Amino acid sequence: MTMLRLKPIRRVKRRGIPRDVRRVADAAFCAVLALAVGLTMERVASGFPQLVGLFVAHDAMSAQAGVPPKADNAPLSLREDDNVALRQARDGDEATLAGPPRIAIVIDDLGADIAHTRRAIALPRAVALAFLPYPESAPTLAREAGRGGHEILVHVPMQAIGAQNPGPMALSPSLAPEENIRRLDWAFARVPGFVGINNHEGSLFTADRAALVPVIEHLADRHVFFFDSRTTADSQVVSVARAFGVASAARDVFLDDVPTIDAVDAELRMLEARARETGVAIAIGHPHEITLDAVAYWTAHQSGFQLVPLSEAIRLKTEREVRLSLALAGG
């Protein structure tokens, strides 16, 4: 296949609005128009300033535009023609991600099993901990985790496809938006010290844009991020959240879909490979004995990686995905 050679990006000094800032506005405007088809123009347009703000790097006015993650653990699939653009994006990664590859780990489903939850709290403080809101012990254990320096998430029950039961007070597309917000506020009240949420189950809810919008608007008001557990390939979480200025990224690896030593070890190796390739990767695990042992061992003995808080990994993944999107669009 003949490779398309993209023209190099020339840096031209201009008066007025810088070129890369105009790219941000263009990319943001296109995203708003696309989302307006499935949502409402009025609601999405209200998130336009936050979207632009989200897509401007905190340390430089570099342009960004989002790319939804794939539904599996594989790297982003690129055409052969995209190799030049990918190299350009990776050049930008090297500037943003100077130093070792970053890895974030989230342990969720916490709060019901007290002993295993306390084992998770004993992990390094950079490991984020997500608490189910309905166990009786959840508030006490979340406070303990906060005192330990962990980032705390509310592991919000959301309706799944099929017969899976996400637990009481689950958000559902069949409920009125006001009821979903009431249930979300109940969950917030049960997990003190939270800085973000992620979905528990939710393969049906997270694929429904109309159901997501009121929830994400509420998160924007609370300045809370939405980490997508990515339980379905059809998840709309990241694209809708970013349109409303809510920080969001999806997991790369589930550590313990198969809760055996060999399987968890293989997923950790996949996590490392993903981090080496892209500069940053995020994994989810659960409070199984095998998973907690594996994460404790990995964090104590790994070399060549930097374990970072989830919020930092979300920011870095967003910057990389937006830069990649711009490079593939031809800069």
Looking at the structure, tell me whether residues 272 and 216 fall in a common domain.
Answer: yes
**For 19-23, 204-208, 237-241, 322-326, which range has the lowest pLDDT when averaged over its residues?**
19-23
**Residue 149: inside a domain, yes or no?**
yes
Integer-rounded Cα radius of gyration of the chain: 20
For 202, the domain range is: 102-321
Between these two residues, 212 and 8, which has the higher pLDDT value?
212
The whole-number pLDDT of residue 328 equals: 86
Share of the chain above pLDDT 90, in %: 66
In angstroms, the Cα distances linking 289 to 22, 34, 145, 265 are 51, 44, 18, 13
Instruction: Specify whether 92 is located in the same domain as 134.
Output: no
Residues 234, 140 share a domain: yes
pLDDT score of 168 more than 60? yes
| Domain presence at residue 265 | yes
From 79-83, 152-156, 200-204, the region with the lowest mean pLDDT: 79-83
Residues 160 and 286 in one domain: yes
pLDDT at site 96: 52
Q: Is residue 110 part of a domain?
A: yes
The beta-carbon contacts of 12-18 under 8 Å, at least 24 apart in sequence, are: 18/61
Residues 250 and 145 in one domain: yes
Does residue 330 sit within a domain?
no
* Partners of 307 in the β-ladder: 103
Name which residue leads in pLDDT, 7 or 206: 206
pLDDT above 80 (res 286): yes
The structure tokens listed for 7 are: 């023209």
Q: Is residue 7 part of a domain?
A: no
What pLDDT sits at residue 331? 54
Position 218 pLDDT exceeds 80: yes
Cα–Cα distance for residue pair 307/127, rounded to 1 Å? 8
CATH number of the domain within which 248 lies: 3.20.20.370
Cα→Cα distances 240→66, 120, 161, 212, 281, Å: 11, 31, 20, 8, 21
Q: With H, G, I as helix, E, B as strand and everything else as coil, classify residue 240.
A: helix
Find the mean pLDDT for residues 117-122.
Answer: 98
Total domains in the chain come to: 2
Task: Tell me what pLDDT residue 329 has.
Answer: 81
Are residue 115 and residue 188 in the same domain, yes or no?
A: yes
Q: What 3-state DSSP class applies to 242?
A: helix
pLDDT at res. 158: 98
- Is 331 within the bounds of a domain? no
Contacts of residue 137, Cβ cutoff 8 Å, sequence gap at least 6: 111, 112, 114, 117
Same domain, 220 and 303: yes
Instruction: Indicate whether 92 and 110 sit together in one domain.
Output: no
Residues 124 and 38 in one domain: no
286 and 160 belong to one structural domain: yes
User: Model-level pTM greater than 0.95?
Assistant: no
Does residue 2 lie in a domain region? no
**Judgement on whether residues 27 and 122 belong to the same structural domain of the protein:** no
Residue at 292 is within a domain: yes
DSSP 206: G
Both 202 and 175 in one domain: the answer is: yes
